[in-house]
Amino acid sequence: MSKFRRANKEVEKKIYEGKLYRPLTEEQMQMIHEASLKIFEEIGVCIKYAPAREYWRKAGAVVDDVTGVCKVGREIVEECIKRAPGEFTQYGRVAKNNVQQGPYRFYGGPSAEAVGVWDFETGEHRAPNIYDLAAGIRLCDALENCDLIQSCCFPSELSKDAPDLNRYFIMTKNSSKHICTGPYHPGSVPKLYKMANIILGKEDAFRERPFITLVCGVISPFIMDAKWTETLLLGIDYGFPIASPTASTVGTTCPGTLAAQLVLSNVEALMTVITTQLKKPGHPCFYSAVPMTVDHRDGAFCFASVEGWMQNCAINQLAQWYDIPNYSICGMCDSKVMDTQLGIEMGMGIVLGAMSGSNNMHGSFGLLEGGLTLCLENFVVANEVVGMSKRVLQGIEVDAERLALDSFRNVGIGGVFLDDPLTTKYTRSEFYYPKLADRKTFASWDAAGRPAYNEKARKMTMDILMNHKTDQIDPEAEAEIRAMFPEILPDAGKTWLEK
């Protein structure tokens, strides 16, 4: 398909492309597409927000205003897919953190809204607070392999009636990376726009540098909620990129086969694409879906099942087939603590997500218990796993110089290549060097006091929190924001080390 693309001269981040894991064949993707079109045409989808239904009606959909069900033909669906941009920039607050979204490109970050946290100092499990959110975001800002940020926990002292400005202010104060988080209330969207412009120092500057993606949602099966959809449309009005993931579970909110879940997820991801492109053709939006599973032995909801990883990788592949950037989840664990289970789940999930080209792989940093518990040490562990995954995607470069025939000739049979110029030249660029993993012999490890991996992660976490300096918001801009929005708490933006 011919797609709308945007040039960006500011992008500085190295691009890693994941094309190594393709769970679906071309024929299977076509079958999923055709089944999805039949649902749009014959069953329809439910749009709870009347103004959004009007966009569907004007495009030619059959709309029932009593039930909210909209039925739409193949031509409209496929035209909206063509309108959606195949590439766009997720801007950082500063240019060094720009992320250029496009086919197969791999970027990772944390997920959102954990309701528990392992206290970094006491080791107790408790409700999170604003200091925990600031600490998690600051870690994300410091870690080189964390590309995007989300509100990794919901501070318990915030009222659910008005949490949004505090959450976004804390995130912006602690990182200049792109923010992907959804407001709880549609009325927060114009306030966030105003706050962002103050931070950027110019009226309407956010339209030129939209450093926040609004995350809304779709309810399975086939429902766009009124409040989320109102937020989505307002976000488009104010220039926010849009992600609106669906999170069906096989056998509960979806029929009990993986193929059925991919059809459901495809329809629901396209509901957002269609709504966005009917309102504003070419507006940046994600093909967003995070298909989940349950353990049918006990009904446990699973973020880290092998089938869930496969399904999210299939979502990435379908998005690439449509040439729309994807928003999916891999790397989050069901483990409750930093243990062997966590290592297996995080390692498998992140590597598969990277190999399938996850454009916005949230959930890969910091969260345990299926996203319910924040663990700060896990950020630095995830940073290493994502770093290794990016090295896999970098691949093996083969050219005349790297084939090293001159080195073989010069050193000869039985020689040692440690001081060979080619070894010196490529000793950094050819290899990934983890900061936490111990590669020494037992004797060396024993002599060093047998340092444990988790303890090394704790020390690195504390070092970052004590020493990392973020790209600061101008003090005058912060003062203006606090005066304009007095609901922002006095300590919003501080970690517990700064209380």
**Do the domain assignments include residue 39?**
no
**Do the domain assignments include residue 24?**
no
Look at residue 379 and tell me whether its pLDDT is greater than 60. Answer: yes
The CA-atom distances, in angstroms, between 266 and each of 86, 88, 417 are 17, 21, 53
Q: Are 95 and 352 in contact (CB under 8 A)?
A: no
Alpha carbon distance 54, 407 (integer Å): 69
What is the predicted pLDDT for the residue at 386? 97
**Do the domain assignments include residue 408?**
no
**Do the domain assignments include residue 265?**
yes
**Do the domain assignments include residue 236?**
yes
**Do the domain assignments include residue 14?**
no
* Residue 177 structural domain: 80-394
**Do the domain assignments include residue 113?**
yes
What is the per-residue pLDDT across 140-169, written as a single tens digit (0 to 9) for each? 999 999 999 999 999 999 987 779 999 999
pLDDT, the chain, mean: 95
What share of the chain in percent tops pLDDT 90?
93
What is the per-residue pLDDT across 273-291, written as a single tens digit (0 to 9) for each? 999 999 999 999 999 999 9
**Do the domain assignments include residue 365?**
yes
Q: How many domains does the chain fold into?
A: 1
Question: How confident is residue 14, by pLDDT bands cut at 50, 70 and 90?
Answer: confident
pLDDT, mean of residues 117-135: 97
What is the per-residue pLDDT across 164-216, written as a single tens digit (0 to 9) for each? 999 999 999 999 999 999 999 999 999 999 999 999 999 999 999 999 999 99
What is the predicted pLDDT for the residue at 5? 47
Supply φ then ψ for residue 110, to 5 degrees.
Answer: -80, 170
Which of 9-23, 418-432, 440-454 has the lowest average pLDDT? 9-23
Alpha carbon distance 84, 119 (integer Å): 43
Q: Are 174 and 202 in contact (CB under 8 A)?
A: no
Question: How confident is residue 112, by pLDDT bands cut at 50, 70 and 90?
Answer: confident
Whether this model's pTM surpasses 0.75: yes
Burial class (CB in 10 A: 0-12, 13-18, 19+), 440: exposed
Omega within 30 of 0 (cis) for the link into 221: yes
Q: What is the CATH number of the domain that holds 316?
A: 3.20.20.480
Question: How confident is residue 364, by pLDDT bands cut at 50, 70 and 90?
Answer: confident
What is the predicted pLDDT for the residue at 7? 46
Q: Are 254 and 292 in contact (CB under 8 A)?
A: no
Place of tokens 């073989």: 408
Q: Are 154 and 128 in contact (CB under 8 A)?
A: yes
What is the per-residue pLDDT across 233-256, written as a single tens digit (0 to 9) for each? 999 999 999 999 999 999 999 999
